[in-house]
Structure 1
Amino acid sequence: MKLILIRHGETHWNKDGLIQGGDSDIQLNDTGLEQARKLAAFLENEPIIAILSSPLQRAIATAEVIASHHQLPVEIDHGLKELKVGDLEGMSISKLTTTFSQFLLHRRQDREHIKLPNGESLVELQGRAWEVIERLVEKHRTNPEHNQDTAVVIVSHYFVTLAIILKALGLPLDYLIRFKVDLGGVSVLEFRDYGARLVTFNDTSY
């Protein structure tokens, strides 16, 4: 099974540099809608059997454009919702002295478990997102109609995408600051009997 991980298209909060977590349900702007259309064309010939999305509108809108090319419904899964950033929601990223990823993983012991004020930890995020992946992999293994080339699309968010990739590759959450996923970025994981491998990361060439 191929798992195609997509970060949603641009919103005006992205454009304005505002922190956009799981409690902000911001629509795609015109650039984001155009990214979704280009993504759909890029993936048109992929043997996609299912499309899952975060419950947030920026992800759903991106997924719906892709789904329209495959006559598939968009399945909403709350496990794919973006990191709950609590009191930081809507704050300008420019007010931080580092990137947001570095801010989350500041040099403290057991930092992956630290919850943001009124938010959640990266470990909690990864746990709920990985449950979605485990269900998909098990469903694929038990369905004789699925083969190694069939693909499932997941449209979600920055931290969700990275948390899934790191878990699949057996890498610690500390490595999150070494990766960057752009808006509309496409990453592909292949799941085989021996485990998962990353075959594409953050492709925006479309």
Structure 2
Amino acid sequence: MSLVYLVRHGETDHNAQERGLGRADVPLSERGLEQAKLIAARFARVPLDAVLSSPLQRALVIARAIAEQHALAVDIRPELTELDVGETEGLAYAEIRARFPDFYAAWTGDDPVHVPMPGGESIAALAERLAPLARDLLDGPDRVIVVVSHNFTLRVLVCLLLSIHIASFRNFRLDLGSITTISIQHGRAAIQALNDVCHLDALNLSPAARSVSS
């Protein structure tokens, strides 16, 4: 049986200010760095075979902290980069609604999967670039892997691993610094833990502080 730990990066200033964040390579905030330490500590005694990461520093800092404890090199995967949010990068949500009303109506409607971000990427396109990785995780040898990435990327990856429609990405959330554990046996995936943030209790984070997107 394989175990895959899906880790969402910690807080950045964009998250704290509720601004759109996709491919901008912003660093972790002070709180985010504290979250990174707690995430790494969570894996200190977990035998690992590999650590995969988005190339963006807010994920890579955490991946390296985890990997160093096990004398592993981080496997940087461009496909784990966050959804390209295009022209909404860095905008507050009220600004997005005001500047892109047609997009916002479609994105918040019943079928957002094929709606591209203004000048950016759709959920369907994100799923397409993640599909080969999902197949590798499902069909590969038994191993224990940590994957450090981003909000939309990880939610879509969960859908692909569980073989559920990618529109279901809206039916659950992955908070900042959360860990989701998925077991894989005979090519079938099952959730062992979803959106686990117990390791962050020392920071006394409120639910609102944990959940800011991207």
The TM-score, its normalising length taken from structure 2, stands at 0.83
Amino acid at match of 2:32: G
Whole-angstrom CA distance in 1 between matches of 2:51 and 2:128? 20
Aligned equivalent of 2:150: 157
What is the DSSP-based 3-state SS (H/G/I as helix, E as strand, rest coil) of the residue aligned with 2:153?
helix
Aligned equivalent of 1:119: 120
Aligned equivalent of 1:193: 186
Conserved 8 A contact 1:17-1:94: no
The count of aligned residue pairs is 192
What is the DSSP-based 3-state SS (H/G/I as helix, E as strand, rest coil) of the residue aligned with 1:37?
helix
What is the DSSP-based 3-state SS (H/G/I as helix, E as strand, rest coil) of the residue aligned with 1:131?
helix
Whole-angstrom CA distance in 2 between matches of 1:47 and 1:127? 31
* Cα deviation code 1:124-156 (max 9, x no counterpart): 101212312323444x32xxxxx4xx3101000
What is the DSSP-based 3-state SS (H/G/I as helix, E as strand, rest coil) of the residue aligned with 2:184?
strand
TM superposition shift of 1:96: 5.3
Aligned equivalent of 2:160: 167
What is the DSSP-based 3-state SS (H/G/I as helix, E as strand, rest coil) of the residue aligned with 2:113?
helix
Whole-angstrom CA distance in 1 between matches of 2:41 and 2:157? 25
TM superposition shift of 1:104: 6.7
Aligned equivalent of 2:88: 88
Gaps spanning 5+ residues in structure 2: where? 98-103, 200-214
What is the DSSP-based 3-state SS (H/G/I as helix, E as strand, rest coil) of the residue aligned with 1:39?
helix
Conserved 8 A contact 2:13-2:29: yes
From the superposition, tell whether residues 103 and 131 of structure 1 become closer, same or farther in structure 2 (CA, over 3 Å).
Answer: farther
**% identical equivalent positions:** 33
What is the DSSP-based 3-state SS (H/G/I as helix, E as strand, rest coil) of the residue aligned with 2:38?
helix
From the superposition, tell whether residues 194 and 27 of structure 1 become closer, same or farther in structure 2 (CA, over 3 Å).
Answer: closer
Whole-angstrom CA distance in 2 between matches of 1:153 and 1:173? 22
What is the DSSP-based 3-state SS (H/G/I as helix, E as strand, rest coil) of the residue aligned with 2:176?
coil
Conserved 8 A contact 1:79-1:131: no
Conserved 8 A contact 1:47-1:151: yes
From the superposition, tell whether residues 104 and 132 of structure 1 become closer, same or farther in structure 2 (CA, over 3 Å).
Answer: farther
What is the DSSP-based 3-state SS (H/G/I as helix, E as strand, rest coil) of the residue aligned with 1:130?
helix
Aligned equivalent of 1:25: 25
* Cα deviation code 1:55-107 (max 9, x no counterpart): 1110101111111211111111100000001111111124456xxxx867432
Gaps spanning 5+ residues in structure 1: where? 142-146
Aligned equivalent of 1:40: 40
From the superposition, tell whether residues 15 and 103 of structure 1 become closer, same or farther in structure 2 (CA, over 3 Å).
Answer: farther
Aligned equivalent of 1:144: none
Aligned equivalent of 1:12: 13
Whole-angstrom CA distance in 1 between matches of 2:105 and 2:155? 16
Question: Quick one: which of 168, 180, 184 aligns to 2:177?
Answer: 184
From the superposition, tell whether residues 136 and 177 of structure 1 become closer, same or farther in structure 2 (CA, over 3 Å).
Answer: closer
The TM-score, its normalising length taken from structure 1, stands at 0.86
